[in-house]
Amino acid sequence: MIPGIIPGATGTSVLISRGGTVGCHAGTGAGRLSRGGAGSVYCLPMRDLPAVPFPMTRSGHSRTRRPWWPFLATLLIVLGLGTWAPGTAAQETDEVPAPPDVTAASAFVLDVDANQALYALEPDTELPPASTTKIATALVVRQQTELTDTVVIEESDLVDTAVFSNMGLVAGDTLTVELLLYGLLLPSGNDAANALARHVGTGLPGGDSDPRAAFIQAMNDLVATLGLEHTQFRNPAGPDEEGHYSSARDLATLAGALLRDETLAAIVDTATYEGVSSGPEARVYPLSTTNDLLLDDGIIGIKTGITEEAGGCLVIGATYSGNRVVTVVLGSDVTTDPDSGFLVSRARYDDTLEIINALNTNYAWVDPAEVPGLTDAMAAWEVTLGDEGANLVIPAGTDDVEFRLRLGPAANPDDEVGRVLFFVGDRQIAERTLVQV
């Protein structure tokens, strides 16, 4: 039992500061306590525990703890808290800071594991997404078919290689879905997108008459399932088309879903791949990523995109102390390569690197179990952290991290019984599930 916090009557919490009086807040717990010794006693319904500051200092990647028991001398009692119920949504946090100056029209950075936005620049503006569309294409393919399925390439799948990115498909070749996914996500093959949409769409409602339309409908069904409010797809590959748009925030959500698929995460983390068609032609398909940052330390190359209307687009992942962080830039500056005549965008990489450097400077990642006092507080209430497993993201140089336990009645082991809310100053930065020990 930690000093200053003791279990009270069922459905209440009792908090003792080291004062000299005993009292109980009028309400659910009023009158249920007798004097138990020196100290000020306070009851709150549903075991709502107020925030208690626990200072933390950082030096590089190491952390040193200051003594924290003195901070229990005065417990800040916050009234008006709602009671916890299973499934309660996370509290909205303050406005997300803007990233450093970039050429991009829109940018968004999301810690996928902590579900925390870190930077935002016009994150909900609806813009042409170019080939970042293929993130959704890959997700629908994974939902609807097997990697070992085979696809016979048709003439209708092919594209003008002088205009569109491609994996070099040849009509009549037979490829597995897995190889086509590599061709979709590494060289950004529009031909691979067409073949996959046709193959998968054939088995979807309405696919007998128009498999491509059926596949696009599945893409938009995915959009609805994920709750994306600023995305609509009109094709599976990403060419500019009226009514075909997404936003940086929505693409970050799609990228998070991709990273949670181990197969797709491995594909986008591959710089080069050589596959062989499975038909009698046994054609070798050498494939290389279009992402210039993939070879940089810690970068997970998710998807590039570029069109005249969309500008330079880039979605990447990176790992920070075990947390996966997605960075999206849309509408970065583009130029025309004088030799090839193709559009190029070095700016999308420079914009992304500016944001990555700012992340390294302005944020730190902390194991929630290491927040001083939390382990003891959870032990007192016989609860523990759920299985989210994500580190907290806090502003670099933060000295004080506060937490508040918000608990419902005791339950069976491993059942969810509440949340722990984390604060920096008066701003909630995160919350985690608590389960009964």
Cα–Cα dist 188/8, whole Å: 60
Full DSSP string of 408-433: -S--STT-EEEEEEEEETTEEEEEEE
Calpha distance 367→312 (Å, rounded): 36
Percent helix, percent strand, percent coil in the chain, to nearest 5: 25, 30, 45
**Which contacts of 31-39 are long-range, i.e. CB under 8 A and separated by 24 or more positions?**
32/8, 33/8, 33/9
| Annotated catalytic residue, options 13, 188, 246, 247 | 188
How many Å is the maximal CA-CA distance in the chain? Answer: 88
Among the residues of 145-242, which ranges form H helices?
A: 177-185, 190-201, 211-225
Catalytic site residue 131? yes
Contacting residues for 197 by C-beta, under 8 A, at least 6 apart: 137, 211, 212, 215, 216, 236
- Distance, CA of 96 to CA of 121 (rounded, Å): 9
Tokens representing residue 166 in the block = 């491609």
* Three-state DSSP string of 365-389: EECHHHCCCHHHHHHHCCEEECCCC
- Rounded CA-CA distance 286/275 in Å is 6
* Residue 349 amino acid letter: Y
332 is catalytic: no
* Exposure class string for 285-300: b at 16+ Cβ within 10 A, else e: bebebbbebbeeeebb
Catalogue the E-assigned strands of 277-377: 284-288, 299-307, 311-320, 323-332, 335-336, 343-344, 363-366
* Cβ atoms of 201 and 215 closer than 8 Å: yes
Burial grade of 162 (CB within 10 A; 0-12, 13-18, 19 or more): exposed
For this structure, is 303 an active site residue? no
- 188 three-class SS: coil
**Residues in the chain, overall count:** 437
State which amino acid sits at residue 324: R
- Given the residues 106, 134, 246, 345, the one annotated as active site: 134
Residue numbers annotated as active site = 131, 134, 188
